Amino acid sequence: MPQTASEALMSRVLSKEAHVAVLGLGYVGLPLALLFAEKGFRVLGFDIDAEKVHLLQQGGSYIEHLPAERVAQARESGRFEATDNFSRLSEMDAALICVPTPVGNHQEPDLSFVEVTTEEIAEHLRPGYLVSLVSTSYPGTTREVVMPILDRSGLRVGQDYFLVFSPEREDPGNPTYSTINIPKIVGGITPTCKELGVALFGQVVERVVPVSSPEVAETAKILENVYRCVNIALVNELKTLLHRMGIDVWEVVDAAATKPFGFSAFYPGPGVGGHCIPIDPFYLTWKAREFGVRTRFIELAGEVNTAMPEYVVARAAQALNTKGKALKGARVLILGVAYKRDVADLRESAALQILELLRAAGAEVSYSDPHVPAIPRLRRHRLDLKSVAVTPQTLGASDLVLIATDHSDFDYELVVKHASLVVDTRNATRALKQNRDKIVWA
């Protein structure tokens, strides 16, 4: 008796004969592609950026925390290849969609990358094909956006082809958790879809968490990021209050964190960055309007976090005023432009907003970041700046040094010794004993 499409695919997955396509080779897609290759699958990575494809084919890496040696080993094994030729999707058994899901100018979801990528897959869809959306989106995206495009092929979901949602949970630069040991949630359109998705991801990660539907998986991912967004907003708002009260917010949080139950520590900063926290909550608020619900709590948290760069610039202006200087014409050196410590990721970085706000106020702005030698052209930013070295000379020539990202590479004792004024948004200088009169916390 001939095998059904699902039985044939399951056999190929369990034997690791299935060929896996990863579409979008950024911070999510490339680690996933390399992991599948390292676990014995043949992987074809797709990206529209020909320069990225060429570098990967040469065994190089453009993501700092993914060493080139790892790419080179995957290439040498013969199990990983990168391409911008989407016709090769016809060679695959599974396609994992890892493309950007940004928001538009009015905080509305932009699913254009997902839609275009799904259309490419639909052109090459055949019986026994598994598709997984990995990119974060609002509840209903897999069923309402991806599935109708695939259905145009005439194939039937759950019988001919199989569709799941399995959200990314990457944390670039995290030394403890990476793709292999972060549990993978999987929700399928049908039970067979879920079974195949669980089987595929179960071949490469330590733990798979099956859920009843794509909507549950989509909402779980959004909840994770809303949770962080709201709690960061809480401490950011608390910071502005406690500054006026003369109370150290970081000391307050550290003291509260000694409670062994019922409290998770979140720390303030100059704003939020990365793909998840600044963007994903707005996907949920947008979807909620379809059901006549206004998510006021989430929207307020977004407003608080979005306002933090302006708060930092105001604090910088106040600090300069105490030295008899105006922000206009002041020479300001920003330390760190990545969105988090010890990575090169610029996505939605609050530091970039601070740079632009300082420029708009008339300041002469420069920056130093050991992970970002130059700021490239970005979707929302055109800064055209290159990193400068942190030396006694560059520090002494600045009217104000603003710590936006607390990279481990920075010598904060050197910074405070030679700078005339320091605005610290990350509490990076807390342990310093000398020259504390130069430091303003923001």
> What letters, b where the CB count within 10 A reaches 16 and e where it falls short, cover 287-323?
bbeeeeeebeebbebbebbbebbebbbebbbebbeee
193 is catalytic: no
**Is the CATH number 3.30.870.10 carried by domain 5-211?**
no
Active-site choice (98, 193, 229, 276)? 276
What does the pLDDT read at residue 104?
A: 81
What does the pLDDT read at residue 321?
A: 96
What is the phi-psi region of residue 73: left when phi exceeds 0, alpha when psi lies from -120 to 50, beta otherwise?
alpha
Phi, psi of 137 (to 5 degrees): -155, 180
Which amino acid makes up residue 330? A
Per-residue pLDDT of the chain (442 residues; tens, 9 = 90+): 678 999 999 999 999 999 999 999 999 999 999 999 999 999 999 999 999 999 999 999 999 889 999 999 999 999 999 999 999 999 999 999 999 999 887 788 999 999 999 999 999 999 999 999 999 999 999 999 999 999 999 999 999 999 999 999 988 888 899 999 999 999 999 999 999 999 999 999 999 999 999 999 999 999 999 999 999 999 999 999 999 999 999 999 999 999 999 999 999 999 998 877 888 888 999 999 999 999 999 999 999 999 999 999 999 999 999 999 999 999 999 999 999 999 999 988 999 999 999 999 999 999 999 999 999 887 777 788 999 999 999 999 999 999 999 999 999 999 999 999 999 999 999 999 999 999 999 8
CB of 206 within 8 A of CB of 180?
yes
Mode of pairing for the β-strands spanning 129-133 and 161-165? parallel
CB of 392 within 8 A of CB of 321?
no
pTM: 0.92
What does the pLDDT read at residue 354?
A: 97
Of 36, 55, 51, 59, which Cα lies nearest the Cα of 132?
36
Task: Considering the chain, tell me which residue range(s) the CATH 3.40.50.720 domain(s) occupy.
Answer: 5-211, 213-305, 307-442
Query: What contacts 58, CB < 8 A, 6 or more positions away?
Result: none
Task: List Cα–Cα distances, 223 to 280, 312, 349, in angstroms.
Answer: 9, 28, 21
What does the pLDDT read at residue 182?
A: 97
**Is the CATH number 3.40.50.720 carried by domain 307-442?**
yes
Which amino acid makes up residue 90? S
| Segments in 104-188 forming alpha helices (H) | 112-123, 141, 147-151
In whole angstroms, how large is the CA radius of gyration of the chain? 24
Q: Which tokens belong to 269?
A: 């900063």
One of 3.20.20.70, 3.40.1260.10, 2.40.50.180, 3.40.50.720 is the CATH number of 213-305, namely: 3.40.50.720
